[in-house]
Amino acid sequence: RVFIPFYTGEVVTAVFGDQASYERLHRTVLIMGLLSLASTVFGGLRGGSFTYAHATIDRQIRNDLFRSVVKQEIGFFDMNKTGEICSRLSADCQTMSNTLSLYMNVLTRNLTMLFGSLIFMFTLSWKLSMITLINIPIIFLVNKIFGVWYDMLSEETQNSVAKANDVAEEVLSSIRTVKSFACENYESSRFMTFLNVTLKIATRKVFVVIGLIWSNELLQMGILTIVLWYGGHLVIDNKVESGLLVSFLLYQFQLGENLRELGEVWNGLMQAVGASRKVFEFIDRPPRVENTGTYAPDAMTGKIEFRHVAFSYPIRPDLPIMEDLTFTVEPGEVVALVGPSGGGKSSCIAMLEHFYEPTSGEVLIDGVPVREYDHKYLHTKVALVGQEPVLYARSVSENIGYGLDKYDDDMVQKSAKLANAHTFIMNDTTDGYNTNVGEKGSQMSGKEKRR
Ligand SMILES: Nc1ncnc2c1ncn2[C@@H]1O[C@H](COP(=O)(O)OP(=O)(O)OP(=O)(O)O)[C@@H](O)[C@H]1O
Ligand SMILES: [Mg+2]
């Protein structure tokens, strides 16, 4: 496409100039036709490649982020709300991959065109080129200033969108509670409050956009006027051919267009930088509680020991939950932890599951700290039935087999029978073991879920 303005000028010269001839016209038109064809073919291929690149980049970023997030320790999820993380996973990843592919495409095309146009312009007339060139640094400076501003606002936007998402996530995942308190309107207005914050940031963005368009347009129109005036003089004085001026003007438009698009790319890239900051922060974050233990003995007797354990939650480090806690549970012993609400009973269990590390002291099973056990092995040995167990929106069998690499129907049924669940699964559900239990197991009773 870089050659097309040049040959357009040539066609004009072939028609209007002193050496106008059919032969010259045919030759230049043929070259232009071939160039246009090639530009079309490669343009399509370029679009296709970038679409594919977009899909692969998108998959890669989301995969990296999700993998890193699920590996984080429970404390991470105390600090970061689910909705916010989901927003990183959807909106921010989308922005990043869109930008990387779409803008890389536009960027490479525009840079090539920009340099191509400049080379042609200088070859055509260095005097006219100089007029144009003086303006380029000014245009870049203006775009840079607005770009930095835009970047700041973009990061603010992504954050406020993430907060709004978090509200939506929380409400939708606890819709029963919302309804039982008749809080539909309250939650809607709360969501609206967050949307309004985003709108406010967007209003500030409006000024950046207006400023950017005004200054760019003014600069471009300014040079166009000067080039037309000076170029016109050169043609009238017979210093250059009229075809050359046509070519030059076409390059001039082209260059303006390229600079405008480059400005947009710049803003887009800034937006991606804003979005990617948080995404990479999550991707690069090493979990504070590592599950790198490898100890997996054939047999476990099940002696549980807490040795001088001190603990506080990472989110509230100065609120001690336990101080110098020592006790032993012998294998086969049934032990009840009794204490006031908020006394730290559930926290003991959380540490036994290696959700948190004690601040000091040790939590041991069979004399080995839980941290040294293989992650998967530990969780086949330590089982917990919560008051509100979580089921997944999958079949009954998949829920029973969750966490096992391999299992069959016999194993599932056997464990269901042991848990006294077989009868109700067979009698009270529509599809037996294939029944979908609904989101978070909402289509099961509390006791059924626990069994
Ligand atoms: N994820 C968390 N992040 C920060 N603090 C927490 C967290 N979970 C519990 N706490 C705090 O730790 C303390 C102990 O909580 P824990 O859940 O262990 O109490 P509990 O003894 O199980 O109480 P209950 O009998 O009510 O179940 C409480 O003050 C609670 O506010
Ligand atoms: Mg508890």
CATH class, range 304-381 = alpha beta
Domains of the chain by residue range:
4-284, 304-381, 396-450
Structure tokens at 107: 């960027």
Determine the pLDDT at residue 149. Answer: 86
Cβ–Cβ < 8 Å for 73, 289: yes
As a whole number of angstroms, the distance between CA 154 and CA 140 comes to: 20
Q: pLDDT category, 63, cuts 50, 70, 90?
A: very high
Report which ligand 1 atom has the smallest distance to the Cα of 337.
Answer: 21
The pLDDT > 90 percentage for the chain reads 35
Average pLDDT over residues 313-324: 92
Q: pLDDT category, 9, cuts 50, 70, 90?
A: confident
Average pLDDT over residues 378-398: 85
Determine the pLDDT at residue 69. Answer: 94
Burial (Cβ within 10 Å: 0-12, 13-18, ≥19) of residue 248: buried
- Between strands 304-311 and 360-365, the pairing is antiparallel
Q: pLDDT category, 420, cuts 50, 70, 90?
A: confident
Compute the distance from residue 344 Cα to the ligand 1 centre, in Å: 6
Average pLDDT over residues 67-83: 90
Which of 73, 82, 321 has most ligand 1 atoms within 8 Å of its beta carbon, as the pocket-test mutant? Answer: 321
Residue 27 has pLDDT above 90, yes or no: no
Q: What values do phi and psi take at 297, rounded to 5?
A: -70, 155
Which residue has the CA at smallest separation from atom 31 of ligand 1?
342
Compute the distance from residue 342 Cα to the ligand 1 centre, in Å: 5
Query: What is the CATH T-level fold of the domain 4-284, as seen in this structure?
Result: ABC transporter transmembrane region fold (1.20.1560)
Residue 100 has pLDDT above 80, yes or no: no
Query: What are 215-266's pLDDT values in tens digits?
Result: 888 888 888 888 889 989 988 998 888 888 888 888 988 888 888 888 788 7
Which residue has the CA at smallest separation from atom 29 of ligand 1?
342
Task: Give the number of the ligand closest to the Cα of residue 384.
Answer: 2
Average pLDDT over residues 14-18: 76
Task: Give the number of the ligand closest to the Cα of residue 350.
Answer: 1
Query: What are 323-375's pLDDT values in tens digits?
Result: 999 999 999 999 999 999 989 999 999 999 999 999 999 999 999 999 999 99
Average pLDDT value over all residues in the chain: 88
Average pLDDT over residues 43-67: 91
Determine the pLDDT at residue 186. Answer: 94
Structure tokens at 325: 């806690």
Q: Is 315 in the pocket of ligand 1 (CB under 6 A)?
A: yes
Compute the distance from residue 343 Cα to the ligand 2 centre, in Å: 8
Long-range own/partner contacts, residues 413-420 (CB < 8 A, 24 or more apart): 419/451, 420/451
The total of other beta-carbon atoms located within 10 Å of residue 222's CB is 13
Q: pLDDT category, 196, cuts 50, 70, 90?
A: very high
Would you give the end-to-end CA distance of the chain in angstroms? 70
Q: Is 317 in the pocket of ligand 1 (CB under 6 A)?
A: no
As a whole number of angstroms, the distance between CA 289 and CA 79 comes to: 14
Compute the distance from residue 437 Cα to the ligand 1 centre, in Å: 29
Q: Is 321 in the pocket of ligand 1 (CB under 6 A)?
A: yes
Cβ–Cβ < 8 Å for 139, 280: no
Determine the pLDDT at residue 278. Answer: 84
